[in-house]
Each structure stands twice: as C-alpha cells, then as structure tokens.
Amino acid sequence: MFFFLLFGLTECCLLFVMAYDRYVAICKSLQYTVKMNQKVCTQMAAFSWTIGILVAFGQTISMFTLPYCGSNRIKRFFCDISLLLRLASTDTYRNEVSVATVTIVFILVPYLLILLSYIFIISTVLRMPSVESQCKAFSTCSSNLIIVSVFYGTIIFTYVRPKTMHSPDGDRLLSLMYTIVTPSVNPIVYSLRNKEV
C-alpha cells in the first residue's frame, strides 16, 4: 500500500511539474532558462517525492492501525484504501475525511492546475502567427498531454463512476491501467520526441 500511494501521489505531482515546465516553455519562453534551471527542476522533483513519501507513510500508518476482523481478502492486485476502509470493523469517519482531503489536495488540485496550464498554453498557441510555430508548440506538449489523459482518465473512471457500474474484473483491469500500463508507456511516449529514437 505504501508504494502504491507513494508512486501514485508522486506521479500526480510530477505530471503537474511537467505541465508547468511546458507552460513556461511556451507561454514564458524568454524566461524559460531562468525559471526552469537545474536547481529549480531538482527542487520540484524532490518536493514531489517528499510529498509522496510523507502522505503515503501517513495514510499507510492510519490504515493499518484500524482493527480488522472477518474476511480480509481483497480481490485486487494491491491494497486500495477504499477497500480497506470497507473491511475495517470500527468507525472510519476520520480516515474517510483524511482520504478525501488527500485526494482533493494531492490529486484533484494538481489535475486542475494541469488543466489550467493547458488552457493558458492553448490560448497562447492559438495566438501564434504561423501554423508551423503552432504545430511545434503543440508537439512540445503532446507527450505530457497523452500521459495526463491516460493516467487521470483511468483514475477518474475508476473512482468517480457509480457503484452500479463496478465489477471486480473491470476494476482490476482499470487498476492495471494506471498502476502498470501508464508508467510503462511513459518512457515510450516521451522517447518518441527524441530524434535518435
């Protein structure tokens, strides 16, 4: 559970950092080397990993201090917090509030900031005079936009859809999408822009 949360939360933060990088590259291109120097990039990456570690550690500790009795079998490939909360044999209101807060602050807020950055990027690109520069700017963002769409799309579809649409096999397949497929596809998608590849 710790590693699932760590990598998921860190991915959300890193996707935002990458979207911010694309925003600065396109909307503030003359200031790019100042705003996105090596030190800033290292700090943003370290901040993303620190948030992931701290929040994952806190959530994991809070889940495994709950009392569990009865069937403790989870039909998934990993321990999902929502499933563990259902198995707990005590009042989980505080844990649910904690999970909701983490979801809003560390998953929803970065997603909204990514969307906002792409709104600014698209409006800037559409104001560019030549079609060639528009195509170049869109190609700069395409890889990040593909990964954001796949990652957040599967998460939203998994956790936001009505309970009547849930099936154990479907949930397992969707969980594979954002835990295995998206991170595995990342290097391929980002490598496509590399001229040597």
Domain that holds residue 78: 2-191
pLDDT in tens, 40-77: 999 999 999 999 999 999 999 999 899 988 767 777 77
Q: Does residue 20 belong to any structural domain of this protein? A: yes
Both tokens of 40, joined, read 């800033």
CATH number at residue 142: 1.20.1070.10
Q: What is the pTM of this model?
A: 0.87
Domain count, the chain: 1
Q: What pLDDT, on the 0 to 100 scale, is given for residue 194?
A: 61
Q: Does residue 196 belong to any structural domain of this protein? A: no
Q: What pLDDT, on the 0 to 100 scale, is given for residue 57?
A: 96
Alpha helices in the chain (DSSP H): 2-27, 32-35, 38-64, 81-87, 93-103, 109-126, 131-160, 168-176, 182-191
Q: Does residue 168 belong to any structural domain of this protein? A: yes
